[in-house]
Structure 1
């Protein structure tokens, strides 16, 4: 019987020829064609992915070849090539005339097309022109350069301590071992007056000498002595001059170590059992107590520390490179965490004669009045003090004070005598300007009284490593980079030694963005 091939596309695909006896016979070639078709589709997908990867991997090479094919021939090609530069987006200072990689970070150099090269005058960069919208977007703010009084302030940390000139140690000054018979200053922190009794000491020899002194005064009618009461004289008056007896008894007390103020206190006191009073030397507070009642103390044993906290010291450390500008007598302000936001005035009292070799710092002592005893010894403190102005570095005149140009740039320098000084200007046309208004042009450090000097804000300075540049506004939205010579920083400003004139307006905010614009987009630059 003849085999009929099905023509209906919806008819199910026949199975293999070895199907069961009840099923229809299957075509073996159909399965083979389906397998080949699946393999072909997969190979096409793999080839497409491989081609995509090759294009992405060699994109720079393909783009370079494409650019080469599209490059115009002859003079047009050379002119176009002169306008093409390659720069690093992360380090705009890296610029090359050929593709490559940044030597700093390894990134591929990006391509840019700029205008024609412009010649820059010495000391000035090409001018950058920005629209008002770009100026507002970049937050550019300009300030006028003028004379300011430079004062650098130093912040250091230290701790509050006692004024050692107002701190006294009270010790046992009598000969031998004495017993603390009565302790009147029983705790630390007590406020005492000068001459107030802090304790009373007992010793046998000292007690006998005290009784003899009191008896001698009682016999001479000069005070209370015997147990009979104040002013009572002994039953039998001893022979001899009463004044001599009193002097001899007082001398005996001095031999045993009693001081004159203690002898006076014994003479002024009432009847006593022969105890030696221990007196406060000054008005102040008991800051240390070393003994307890009943304790035996030898000669020289400390009993109390009494201090006047009406004035305190702060000791801080200053590095040696700043030590030469710290002057004794300069005012300071101290702050402590206990009173945030409150400044305590004082002055520099002493600078240590030697440095700590480990930290390379020297101790500086500040004295502060302490009304109300709010500053307590042991507190940490932050001290702010003004440094003396740095001595100006000796230098020769290099620029014209009128135009700011370097001397010899317009011929030989022209000397001119003004304000008792001999200066040089770049040309004869600058002489009448300088003579008519010398105060405007003689704005260099040392040319004005006091510490005033021509200065620019720190934020206006772009330090490239090899030179320092500020951007001067020479017109609306037009900025010119100008190399300057600066002195040591004083606070948030730099004194200008050369490169600027009074009245110049510099970009105090946004100078970095202007510098980046001049490097990344040469089309915005023009001749200075």
Structure 2
């Protein structure tokens, strides 16, 4: 026999052996699963035990389930072929994505999904069926889906800060040296028009001299018979006066300069507003540059309180709501204000948004930098569908509840939730109807059971056979 013939004979022998093993294994399993319909009891057959919660757990001896710890129950040996189950009657058709979409005939929902049949008895696909005794042992409780009003009081912390429009900077518009400093302390109260400091500047002295020259020149040219010459002297004087005004020399100081006829060595800067000196960057004898801030004055007659609002609390907060501010270490009544502004960004360090509350501060009891306790009475959300918050299972991608259908049947339902109130109820935007009951305890065991049944169905479902091209034996050699 040639080498090629021996190879062909060996291949046919392997194929025949694999086929024989396949049919032999199929003959041992078909119709002989424990408790399968049509199984015939054999004399001396060994009793096997299984778990009521996990039917794939099968053991030859009694004991406890290795998954849930329940006692194993004996499996009933198969008898004569069971009668064919009666045909179930369809109650209605429902959308798999929206349980509120119910129809009396098959079809598709508004999203294009095929409607699923709901039967009058028994469990529909996707439901969990548990023995009532087991339900009682699990301590399973339910709560109704009802309409109610949701209320929430937000408790947070706040920080007292300056009112930004009432902060002012004092600087010089000319270069020079500080000859005298009238306000020399941080925290000192100043009034509007109070002198702050004197600045010596050679440029300022030269500008005053130019103004005096322009003043004398105007008086001399005013006697000219030519109108244009007289007008030119007036224009020159006005230009010199404007230059002094731009350097913050007041009209009163210009009038004194005209009266005395002698230029002043220093320029006095006056406080533009009343308030407290909150920043001081100047000392006597210091050389200052034009445009550099020397002092900062803040008016504390009104202050802001910035309250931190977490992201999940934002749906409850809006401008106009009443807010109560309490000073933890100060006696006296709480202060009540209103939210005037909600900042449109989130602070990265705290992941909070700030709500601004404005207060009058006549006694200066609210000092910038103080921490406060803030209570915000959110506006109620009225007449909404709600369930207990602990009835919702959150997996990160979706939110699920288990609906109790009665007779030990439970259906997992995907829902969309809204706000949560102080009493532990969460708003349901879609997925449930009034009157249904949801599981509020032991739903994690139902969740594991539903995932287990889904996995078993996927394993038992026949996979589509791939069409393989015919193999020519000549191509193997």
TM-score, normalised via structure 1 length = 0.45
Question: Which structure: larger Rg?
Answer: 1
TM-score, normalised via structure 2 length = 0.49
